[in-house]
Amino acid sequence: MTRDTAAAARQKARIVLIGTGGTIAGRGASPVNTSAYDCSVLSIDDILADLPVADSLADITTEQLFQVGSENFGNVQLLQLGKRIASLLERDDIDGIVVTHGTDTIDETAYFLHLTLKSPKPVVVVGAMRPPSALSSDGPLNLYNAIVVAASRLAHGKGTLVVSNDEIHTARDVVKTNTFKQDAFKSPYGPLGFVVEGKPVFYRLPARPHTVDSEWSINEIEALSHVGVVYAHGGMNDAIVRAILDSGVKAVIYAATGNGNVAVSIVASLVEARKRGIHVVRGSRTGGGVVIRNAAQPDDLYDWLVTDDQPAHKARILMMLALTREHCTRKLQDVFWRY
């Protein structure tokens, strides 16, 4: 090895690539099987082997932590993944982390990491909408871009990121919006930036606290409360609400119609929830906008909360974390305003 080559090798970022399964690790029977395929069958080493240029991007080591579709991710997996990443980030010989993940709940996992990891080092969560066996699979380029972002000093201090379709999204905002298209991931305020010709370019910053400025640390969390989600629809009765209240939840996110509107047939069961010590958080099923406190419902009277702009499934993540430290309704509401 020449002196110049050795210097270049030392300058490469040291990245740990963690595999958890998902479509990016899937395989279909035919190249045209872009939506019907076996999920989570390839190892992280198999995936990396199909991306030989990765060695030029960073000094990469791999770990296979899980091998499951992300619809199977629960609190146990969130905690295990978060604690493993936290231990890796503490090491001086590691500069960043890339997690390959199923797209179904990638936005939930990323948001959890965004709020609980106490390090400015880049953490990038990446998946694919098409398996590696499919024509025009997005997995290889998504992974390439994720490694590029994780290896870049520009990504420091920006929290957990989701990279997909050449876009760089903050974990707080990004949601999956389509079942099969490659541009499935969107943020209501737009991406933070893009990967252009193999280089990350940022145009804005996350506005809400995260990582080192968050009040939660993964190393201090041993368990998460059960928080449920109820999706509203026309003609709804309260049977499903009462069933979820009896399931052991500590809070329920009600994905209501419009600006958090709650039908008359549902109000009594949600009022009862609060009397039983179960927190009620009004959200919206619309996928956009802000739910206004004391507008559609008298939240102060009922001692309910509102989600601000968070979709129900991400409000669930935030509420689970909030309940590890707080139970006062006013302080819990402040959490939704702050994060």
Q: What is the pLDDT along the chain (339 residues), one digit of tens a residue?
A: 444 444 445 589 999 999 999 999 999 888 888 888 888 899 999 999 999 899 999 999 999 999 999 999 999 999 999 999 999 999 999 999 999 999 999 999 999 999 999 999 999 999 999 998 889 999 999 999 999 999 999 999 999 999 999 999 999 999 999 999 999 999 999 999 999 999 999 999 999 999 999 999 999 999 999 999 999 999 999 999 999 999 999 999 999 999 999 999 999 999 999 999 999 999 999 999 999 999 989 999 999 999 999 999 999 999 999 999 999 999 999 999 999
At 135, list the tokens.
Answer: 């024509």
Query: Tell me, what's the pLDDT at 1?
Result: 45
Q: How far is Cα 213 from Cα 207, in angstroms, rounded to an integer? A: 12
Domains of the chain: 10-213 (3.40.50.1170), 226-338 (3.40.50.40)
Spot the catalytic one: 20, 34, 100, 103. 103
DSSP code at position 292: P
Which residue positions form the known binding site for substrate? 70, 103-104
Q: Are 79 and 117 in contact (CB under 8 A)?
A: no
Query: Tell me, what's the pLDDT at 6?
Result: 46
Q: Please classify residue 163 by burial: count the beta carbons closer than 10 Å to its beta carbon, then call 0-12 exposed, 13-18 middle and 19+ buried.
A: buried
Q: How far is Cα 137 from Cα 119, in angstroms, rounded to an integer? A: 32
The model carries a pTM of 0.94
Query: Tell me, what's the pLDDT at 211?
Result: 98
Residue 103 is a catalytic residue: yes
Query: Tell me, what's the pLDDT at 3?
Result: 44
Which residue positions form the known binding site? 70, 103-104
From 216, 221, 227, select the one nearest 281 (Cα to Cα): 227
At which residue do the structure tokens 């009862």 appear? 272
At 63, list the tokens.
Answer: 């770990």
Query: Tell me, what's the pLDDT at 197?
Result: 96
Spot the catalytic one: 23, 34, 116, 211. 23
Query: Tell me, what's the pLDDT at 32?
Result: 86
Residue 105 is a catalytic residue: no
Query: Tell me, what's the pLDDT at 30?
Result: 87
